[in-house]
Amino acid sequence: APTDAGFVAIACGTSHSVALRNDGTVVAWGSNSNGQRNDAPTRAAFVAIACGGDHSVGLRNDGMVATWGDNSIGQRNDAPTCAGFVAIACGRDHSVGLRNDGMVATWGADEQRQ
């Protein structure tokens, strides 16, 4: 876990955690079995973060989403590549993004129609 100050948001997955610094960078710690730590972006300017079971999502200040960690069910590769997102959330194996036009995008697991 980080020992310095300056964090504005935190999120937890099954065995990893992510914190958002006031400068928009993220710090990840805990398990790295699926890249939850080492794949975390280090230079992007984030405004929000969310964690799923073994993956994480960050909302960048330009409205784009960034994903890292597990991709066994499309948690990363199926993420949208367009801008315009204003909020994000994660379930265990899926993620959701709210766009500025009110539309919702989902990616990752879909076995329960999530």
- Tell me the per-residue pLDDT of 59-113, one tens digit each, with 9 for 90 and over: 999 999 999 999 999 999 999 999 999 999 999 999 999 999 999 999 999 887 7
CA dihedral 12, 13, 16, 20 (to 10 degrees): -40
pLDDT at 108: 95
Phi/psi class of residue 39: alpha, beta or left (left: φ > 0; alpha: ψ in -120 to 50)?
alpha
Query: b or e along 3-36 (b: 16 or more beta carbons within 10 Å of the residue's beta carbon)?
Result: eeeeeeeebebeebbbbbbeeebbbbebbbebbb
Name the 3-class secondary structure at 60. strand
| pLDDT > 80? residue 114 | no
Structure tokens at 37: 């730590």
CA–CA distance, 32 with 63 (Å, rounded to integer): 27
- Tell me the per-residue pLDDT of 48-71, one tens digit each, with 9 for 90 and over: 999 999 999 999 999 999 999 999
Q: Average pLDDT, whole number, for the chain?
A: 94
